[in-house]
Chain A
Amino acid sequence: KAGVTQTPRYLIKTRGQQVTLSCSPISGHRSVSWYQQTPGQGLQFLFEYFSETQRNKGNFPGRFSGRQFSNSRSEMNVSTLELGDSALYLCASSLGTSGEKLFFGSGTQLSVL
């Protein structure tokens, strides 16, 4: 069974640009969550989608958005990039609703210059 796949693996952008990250969950998993990891801050919750609906949202500005497609694949978008957005963005999938055991992808390392 294939794991959670995130693309691209690395990304370099400049301030003011926008970026879209992609996540394909484990087959059969309907929930996809996104987390931001920065040094010393651990994993900060961005949002969670289940059956194409946003179920939960973390405390991030509106520049961060996401969506989920009917095949459970998910994308997250960050507009008007800032230097502080440089981080590892992790996607995780689970079978059902929030708080279940998560299966993480390897992440997308975003660098904003």
Chain B
Amino acid sequence: DQQVKQNSPSLSVQEGRISILNCDYTNSMFDYFLWYKKYPAEGPTFLISISSIKDKNEDGRFTVFLNKSAKHLSLHIVPSQPGDSAVYFCAARQDTGRRALTFGSGTRLQVQP
């Protein structure tokens, strides 16, 4: 039972355009969401996070949007750069019980020069 789903395994965009990566979750107990970026042969690195009390968080070119009613979050990258090409993982934490992060299966983003 995948509680965090990234339904697009891959995404290709042109340099300078917007990249939108999507993530859906099923557990209404999740209260904190994170995005990680992973390059080949490296571990994932933290990118940006959002608390369930907010609907938007911005950090430079990266913005995360949270729609709690739809149990959906998205990561926007504007403008996209070739160095953004990586696998992006969405993760969520629930507010009670087991609080370990639950990760999605990842979306491979390729930014074409």
If A104-B45, A105-B43, A106-B42 touch, whether A41 touches B99 (CB-CB below 8 Å) is no
For B4, list chain A residues within 8 Å (CB): 42
For A40, list chain B residues within 8 Å (CB): 9, 105
Closest CB in chain A relative to B30 CB, distance in Å: 10
Closest CB in chain B relative to A66 CB, distance in Å: 13
The chain B residue with its CB closest to the CB of A98 is B99
Judge whether B100 and A99 touch: CB under 8 Å: yes
Question: Is the CB of A64 closer than 8 A to any CB of chain B?
Answer: no
- B-contacting residues, A76-108, CB 8 Å: 90, 92, 97-99, 101-107
Closest CB in chain B relative to A28 CB, distance in Å: 17
Judge whether A41 and B46 touch: CB under 8 Å: no
Number of interface residues of A (CB under 8 A): 24
The chain B residue with its CB closest to the CB of A99 is B93
Within 8 Å by CB of B99, from A43, A56, A102, lies A56
Closest CB in chain A relative to B24 CB, distance in Å: 13
For A99, list chain B residues within 8 Å (CB): 32, 93-94, 99-101
Judge whether A43 and B46 touch: CB under 8 Å: no
Closest CB in chain A relative to B59 CB, distance in Å: 13
Judge whether B9 and A98 touch: CB under 8 Å: no
Question: Is the CB of B85 closer than 8 A to any CB of chain A?
Answer: no
Judge whether B100 and A58 touch: CB under 8 Å: yes
- A-contacting residues, B56-94, CB 8 Å: 89, 91, 93-94
Question: Is the CB of B103 closer than 8 A to any CB of chain A?
Answer: yes
Closest CB in chain A relative to B93 CB, distance in Å: 4
Closest CB in chain A relative to B36 CB, distance in Å: 8
Closest CB in chain B relative to A7 CB, distance in Å: 13
**A35 to B4 alpha-carbon distance, docked (Å):** 15
Closest CB in chain B relative to A47 CB, distance in Å: 8
If A90-B43, A90-B44 touch, whether A42 touches B103 (CB-CB below 8 Å) is yes
Question: Is the CB of A22 closer than 8 A to any CB of chain B?
Answer: no
Judge whether B34 and A98 touch: CB under 8 Å: no
**A103 to B32 alpha-carbon distance, docked (Å):** 17
